[in-house]
Structure 1
Amino acid sequence: MEKKKIAAQLYSVRKELAKNPEETFKALKEIGFEAVQLDGMRGHSPKEIKSLVDQYGFEIAGMHIKHDRFFHDIDGIIEEALLFNCKTIYDKYIDDEEQHLDGYVKTKQQLLRVQEQLKGLGFRVGLHCPEYDFNNQIEGVTVLDYITAPEYGLGIYAEPDTYWMSVAGKDPVEEFKKFSYRAPIVHLKDYKKGFDPKDMDNNLTELGSGDVRFDQIVRWGEANGVEYYCIEQDYSKIGMLHSLAKSFDYLLSI
């Protein structure tokens, strides 16, 4: 795997980014990252963040967009995506109040409408998958499977996440296999077995410190169209930048 395919999800450094964006981008560059995935501007203007992205030479490995914007702010999404020269956009997560059958149906219909509307501009629309997308089901399948299943030749891309799949008691290696050439960006977080699934303080850990078989994930990804392996660390005991550095070095080693 090439180094340039390893990206940092900026949600990981949300606090650092809010406080000092330039120092944050500088630190990520020093770790070795050449790509980042956007997750909001954290109180800064898109132009300011874009300037720093360019200054430090980062590629943009997709953008996470708030759920409601796909319903009410398509023009704003387009403007932001074009500013960052990134046409892979993900619904960050389905809002809690939409976590029911009607909400899932409505979400799929709207994301397909957006994909149909934007495909001529070269956009790819996808869905990120927190834990409830695996614990909840619709029509006998997971929410992610349902929403990304193609309809009439049009499909929503998946952004599978090793941690949330593990929280739901599933094997990420097997789950990833469903998304051959339909998951250009994947989320990597390690998971330690033996703790309560909701105990993120203890079951979420740096890559290589838990039980996810990342060697098999990467082998599958290299054969099935993965463009970026995005490291996300929601929580850290050793300092977020140290966690990201540890995960980066491990991923590079395999």
Structure 2
Amino acid sequence: MLKLGLQLYTLRDLLEQDFKGTLAKVAELGYQGVEFHHFYGYSAEEVRSLLDELGLEMVGTHVQYDSLVNDFDQVVSYHKAIGNRNIIVPHLSEEQRSDWNLVFANLKEISNKLKPHDMVLLYHNHDFELTEKINEKTALDTLFSTLPEEVLAELDTCWIHYAGYDPVEYIAAYEGRLPIVHWKDLKRNSDGSPLTVELGQGEVDVAAVGDAADKAGVEWIVVEQDYCTNPPLESIETSLNWIKQYVNNGGKVNV
């Protein structure tokens, strides 16, 4: 059964104002785990103590590519102390991906350096990895076919959909290499640009995504909303209420 997490980027403004109180509300709503993108100056010991106090599990952490390349030892030390083993590259800038071969080489080296620390490297996609091609294949597929299987996927199913691909097919294709899936919905603005919305409010077949993730043996399915037009805590509660209805209809998520 899928475990339910929240990517805390959704609540970034609230976390900056009240880190501890916001995490407490996430736990109170019923999310099992959290995925970090920032720690707002809190020490590793403080973060770990707070998670233990609130009963929240550590899903993983988004760590900037440059930090992994240039500050590897510091990253490992902090994440060991908070009890995190899933190190996730969240994004590549246009400048960074101007040389995909260098990216592949660096990610392979980072993955190898994480192994002795019992940590694993994951890569999180946006839409550009699917719209950009390398030798007639999507950059995403080229990345994972080039890198060793120890480098795992965190598929963001919303961005796969927005790029024009079927997230259900992608989940099935990456079965066995896919511990975490991002669960996200969107609508399109009048100019075609994406607007992330609460689960069940947009055009993504989020129920099919949940079913496919469970079938593929995914461990964590993680709610994320890049931008909220409603108050963010209200948005994550709305998404959670949709998930509860999905579970009532047979969905396999632990809520």
SS class of match (1:230): strand
Which amino acid in the other structure matches residue 20 of structure 1?
Answer: D
Assess if the C-alpha contact under 8 Å between 1:67 and 1:95 holds in 2.
no
Residues 119-152 of structure 1 deviation map (CA, whole Å, 9 limit, x = unaligned): 233221011112212211212222221212255x
* 1:17-70 deviation per Cα after TM superposition (whole angstroms, max 9, x unaligned): 111011101111121112000111134333333332222111011111011012
| Aligned pair partner of 1:113 in 95, 109, 131 | 109
Q: Give 1:127's aligned residue.
A: 123
Q: Which amino acid aligns with 2:235?
A: S
Unaligned runs of 5+ in 1: none
Does the 8 Å contact 1:62/1:185 carry over to 2? no
* Structure 1 counterpart of 2:253: none
Letter in 2 for 1:238: N
Q: Please state whether the residue corresponding to 1:192 is helix, strand or coil.
A: strand
> CA 1:135–1:150 in structure 2 vs 1: closer, same or farther (change >3 Å)?
closer
Residue number among 222, 242, 247 corresponding to 2:239 in the alignment: 247
Cα distance in 2 for partners of 1:99, 1:196 equals: 26
Q: How far does residue 154 in structure 1 lie from its aligned partner after superposition?
A: 4.0
Deviation of the 1:155 alpha carbon: 3.9
Q: TM-score, normalized by length of structure 2?
A: 0.89
Q: Which range moved further: 214-223 or 156-165? A: 214-223
CA distance in 2, matches of 1:106, 1:156: 16
User: Is the partner of 2:130 in helix, strand or coil?
Assistant: helix
Task: Report the counterpart of residue 66 of structure 2 in structure 1.
Answer: 68
Q: Distance in 2 between matches of 1:194 and 1:70?
A: 35
The size of the alignment, in residue pairs, is: 246
Aligned to 2:203: 211
Q: Distance in 2 between matches of 1:39 and 1:57?
A: 19
- Letter of the structure 2 residue corresponding to residue 227 of structure 1: E
Q: Within 2, Cα distance between the matches of 1:233 and 1:81?
A: 24
Whether contact under 8 Å (2:149, 2:177) holds in the other structure is no
Distance 2:167 2:189 in 1: 17
**Code of the aligned partner of 1:253:** Q
Secondary structure, counterpart of 1:229 in structure 2:
strand
Displacement over 6 Å in runs of 4+: none
Deviates more, 1:12-21 or 1:138-147: 138-147
User: 1:12 corresponds to which residue?
Assistant: 10
The 3-state SS of whatever aligns with 1:149 is helix
Q: Per the alignment, do residues 198 and 128 of structure 1 end up closer, same or farther by CA in structure 2, a change over 3 Å counting?
A: same
CA shift, 1:229, in A, is 0.5
Deviation at 1:195, TM superposition (A): 4.5
* TM-score relative to the length of structure 1: 0.89
Pick the aligned partner of 1:143 from 132, 139, 158.
139
Is 2:163 aligned against 1:163?
no
Task: Structure 2: state its 5+ residue gaps.
Answer: 247-255
Distance 2:240 2:167 in 1: 19
AA matched with 1:129: N
SS of the residue aligned with 1:251? helix
